[in-house]
A = this chain, B = another copy of it.
């Protein structure tokens, strides 16, 4: 058995390693266009920022160690230029010698990844504009930074990588400005969750322009002038372009492999392309999302690594393994914040025109009475059939734990009842007796069984002012300091005795800081004959941040 692999990083290297462990006698060769294999793509921003101090740390394996340990033949600086499916060969160019040769395979694995988008904006070829995909890109940026000591950087595109770069350049003392075409950073989040990130960026002194795009770049001496569509002009010494990636499907297209609707290589549940001798995985591929059934491309390392092991298993053991599909669980550190999501966002569901319910709670990473509990905001999305559809969390410590719990439930097509029943490990330094994931399940159930009606920050203005009454159920002191425009104050402990004050012909919108006391108030009113009662989801905290 001879297996050729195109691409020597996350998907390709993992496939090769597992192949060898399964079969000592297979002939395994990796072709990698670049000079490096098996490096930590995900660590690149942190090396630039200095958090990862040594460049060597980025290399999990080298071509030499791969050969030594795994007896895998690694050809770096070799560009595969065509897949000749009829002959079952690859045409390969040795980039050192420019020699082109053919190499036959029994099975072929495609893990060519995705490349940063670089749209044809005037001036984009400036040598001060960088994208970040691999080690040479990283070296370029690092060298530029060391040599030119830029004072101002502009990041175009505020996804994971853009924000990681923002943090890392900021850490080097560079003033950072972000330009993002959408109305928010971190597009996988819904707006009100992203609003917390906006707030944090402000606190950190990072400037950002939303709903704005670049119309041109112009080099002016040592700096570049970035003209925005809003006609604002920003100056920068360094520009990072991080507006997304496109799957590297050139070889696949040219050799007639099937491409799916999202532009990725189409694979079946065995991670096989439409050619039974060719498997594909990683950033270049698409696969049905298990929640919607629609094809999805998820350019993340976790799926690529797991798929790599499966591809190897299927090659050696004969398509025994089926892929469940990814639900797009992602996370990023954004300065002190942790931002994470899994499954579908509200935005996606709106686009799909599907029915959904949603809620926002604010919780703490562990018991409030134990020191250093951090706040976190959780949004979950679910449907009337009780199925969980997605979750988003913004906070500090403990966010990663909760998003993983949501991901497991989602991955099993689980329900809000499963959330309630999660038997988490509790001691004061780690959680509360009811974990935030449990609470999210409780609140969802209360919504579905009609015990509680949530009104969302962006629904408030749908209700004419004269048809609603806003009641702040916090204490008089809290109300005195700050409240929502037009709100009256009835502190929770008084509400049983002051029901008569509440007009029966208006929509009653109850709120508190985060939504918990308002829920308690709602229960009292609802059982006292008031029906048109709402709890402002996520309380004043979410409302204020989102409407700023």
Contact = CB atoms under 8 A, between A and B. Distances in A.
A468 interface: no
B527 A427 contact: no
A539 interface: no
A333 B52 CA distance: 29
Interface in A398-441: 400-401, 403-405, 407-409, 411-412, 418, 420-431, 433-435, 438
A57 B369 contact: yes
A435 B300 CA distance: 14
Interface string A349-388: 0000000000000000001011100000000000000000
Nearest to A393: B425
A424 B21 contact: no
Nearest to A44: B428
A69 interface: yes
A493 interface: yes
A229 to B, nearest CB: 31
Contacts of A159: none
A404 B407 contact: no
Given A69-B493, A433-B304, A411 B422 contact: yes
Contacts of A69: 492-493, 520
Contacts of A22: 451, 523
Interface stretch (A129-137, A178-186, A194-202, A321-329): A321-329
A51 interface: yes
A58 to B, nearest CB: 6
B424 A302 contact: yes
Q: Which of A40, A301, A302, A329 has the most CB of B within 10 A?
A: A302
Contact of A369 (B58, B304, B408, B435): B58
A42 interface: yes
A535 to B, nearest CB: 12
Interface string A218-238: 000000000000000000000
Given A69-B493, A405-B408, A369 B43 contact: yes
Contacts of A435: 302, 404
B23 A302 contact: no
Nearest to A59: B369
Nearest to A338: B430
A430 to B, nearest CB: 4
Contacts of A51: 370-371
A332 B423 contact: no
A451 B20 CA distance: 13
A262 interface: no
A404 B403 contact: no
A192 B60 CA distance: 30
Given A46-B370, A331-B426, A369-B58, A305 B408 contact: no
Interface string A40-67: 1011001000011000011010000000
A544 interface: no
Given A24-B524, A369-B43, A428-B40, A421 B496 contact: no
Nearest to A160: B427
Nearest to A449: B317
A69 B405 CA distance: 32
A327 B332 CA distance: 32
A479 interface: no
Given A411-B421, A527-B23, A430 B369 contact: no
A442 interface: yes
19 contacts: A10-B433, A21-B523, A42-B433, A52-B371, A60-B369, A301-B433, A302-B435, A304-B433, A324-B421, A329-B425, A330-B425, A330-B427, A400-B425, A401-B404, A404-B424, A407-B424, A408-B408, A411-B422, A411-B423
4 smallest beta-carbon distances between A and B, as pairs: A331-B425, A401-B401, A24-B527, A305-B433
